[in-house]
Amino acid sequence: MAEANEIIEKALSLKDKGEYEKSIELIQNLFDKNKNSEKIKVLLIKLLFDYAGWLMDNWVIDYTKTRKCYQEIIDLEPENYRAIYNLGISLFSLGKKDEALIKFKEALKFNPEYKFCYYNIGLVYEDKGLLERAYYAYKRALEIDPNFLYAKEAKKIVEDKINDRSRKKGQDSEKTTLDQLKSLFRVSKKINITDIQNILNLKRAEIMPLIIEWAEEYESEIDGDYLILNKKTLQELLENISLNKIY
């Protein structure tokens, strides 16, 4: 234990000098030899967070390295929503916006009230031109924190964009999406999941948690690529579908 304490002291001294990689390497090697040590694991996670924060400073910003740091934290602690969220930030900054979106949503599984996730989900959707989804993401962030200034400003900008587009197109695209989805559910008992994806413009990985939730809540079934609706609960499902719940 005395030797471990010496290594920890040396690692912390290196960290104080800004030699993060050497510091992390020392603690990583120590942890490899003491896999059951919660103290060493906690220290390693802290050093990785500190290094990533240092890397995101305006003078030394390196999102490739921050991505690596946050992934290493997740490998150590899979439910660390802060690391998952920050991995999303790194991916977004590297131009990998779809991957970032997946990480933001994953972080919400572990902390559903993390307002920054919703805000950044909104940024991704807005960047992709999916204004209604961006609006609901910013709205959700403000439900968590009504004083969240960035979300307030972003929501207002998106509202203006939506209003401008609605005036030009003469239609409400949100209503169109819901109507299409509800019509599909009304005319067929056996729904191809790909058809639902196309209407909602979601990827398979994004739509499946929603499909599973519908199946469980409304006593329906999933058979391969199909959602088999329960006609007895169909009306209740139709009444409760909303884009706010979906996105």
Q: What is the pLDDT of residues 74-127, one digit of tens each?
A: 999 999 999 999 999 999 999 999 999 999 999 999 999 999 999 999 999 999
pLDDT digits (tens, 9 = 90+) for 145-181: 999 999 999 999 999 998 887 776 644 555 677 788 8
**Does 140 map to a domain?**
yes
Examine the domain organization and report whether 139 and 206 are in the same domain. no
**Does 45 map to a domain?**
yes
Torsional sign, CA 8, 78, 83, 62? positive
Tell me the pTM. 0.64
**Does 106 map to a domain?**
no
Among the three residues 170, 196, 211, which one is the final residue of a domain in this structure? 170
Q: How many domains in the chain? A: 3
**Does 104 map to a domain?**
no
pLDDT digits (tens, 9 = 90+) for 41-57: 999 999 999 999 888 87
Identify the domain containing residue 226 by its residue range.
173-246
